[in-house]
């Protein structure tokens, strides 16, 4: 298993994109399937955004000049995803706006992933050495077991409140 931070983030991206596709293909009345997939998506995004915000972005922001605007935009995109996850977590798949809200989340997250992977991952890889990316990745792996999986957990709420107050 790689400890390269960018490799780990790309793996998360692939997993969440796969879950979004499964949700989209589940069918209109597949409420139990959609509930299960939504739970997985919310858990994955809550953990992923927490790890990026707490572990990756601060280090990258400090070490990679010229990426400040990309990082600030990523924080805001995470905030949008966090709010949508909180709302979805409180809804039922039978709610008439549930699938539409999930599609908005999927569109936003896919856009965010494309920007990260196409724009700032290459900049970060060029600026940081393999050793630094492995150190960041190792810290992500260490933090993952205790990272929040639900938007209502205190560490996830703190992240959302920090985004509002910043």
pLDDT band (50, 70, 90) for residue 159:
low
From 142, 137, 108, select the one nearest 124 (Cα to Cα).
137
145-to-46, 67, 140, 148, 152 alpha-carbon distances in Å: 13, 29, 9, 9, 17
103-156 confidence digits (pLDDT tens): 999 999 999 999 999 999 999 999 998 999 999 999 999 999 999 998 877 676
| Cα angle: 153, vertex 59, 44; to 5 degrees | 35
Q: What is the mean pLDDT of residues 37-58?
A: 95
Residue with tokens 């965010």: 112
User: Residue 134 in 3-state DSSP?
Assistant: helix
Residue 62, exposed/middle/buried by CB under 10 A (0-12, 13-18, 19+)?
exposed
User: CA separation (Å) from 130 to 58, 91, 126?
Assistant: 18, 42, 10
pLDDT tier for residue 23 given thresholds of 50, 70 and 90: very high
In order of 36, 43, 80, 98, 151, the CA distances from 73 in angstroms are 30, 22, 11, 26, 20
Q: Three-class SS of residue 110?
A: helix
H or E stretch including 65? none
């Amino acid at each position: 298993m790689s400890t390269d931070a960018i490799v780990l983030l790309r793996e998360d991206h692939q997993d969440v994109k796969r879950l979004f596709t499964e949700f989209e293909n589940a069918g209109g009345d597949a409420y139990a399937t959609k509930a299960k997939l939504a739970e997985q998506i919310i858990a994955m995004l809550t953990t992923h955004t927490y790890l990026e915000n707490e572990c990756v972005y601060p280090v990258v922001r400090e070490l990679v000049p010229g990426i400040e605007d990309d990082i600030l935009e990523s924080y805001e995109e995470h905030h949008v995803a966090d709010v949508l996850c909180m709302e979805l977590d409180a809804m039922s798949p039978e709610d008439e706006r549930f699938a539409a809200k999930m599609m908005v989340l999927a569109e936003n997250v896919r856009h965010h992933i494309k920007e990260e992977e196409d724009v700032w991952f290459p900049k970060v890889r060029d600026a940081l050495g393999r050793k630094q990316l492995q150190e960041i990745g190792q810290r992500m792996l260490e933090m993952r077991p205790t990272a929040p999986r639900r938007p209502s957990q205190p560490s996830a709420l703190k992240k959302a409140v920090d985004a509002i107050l910043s």
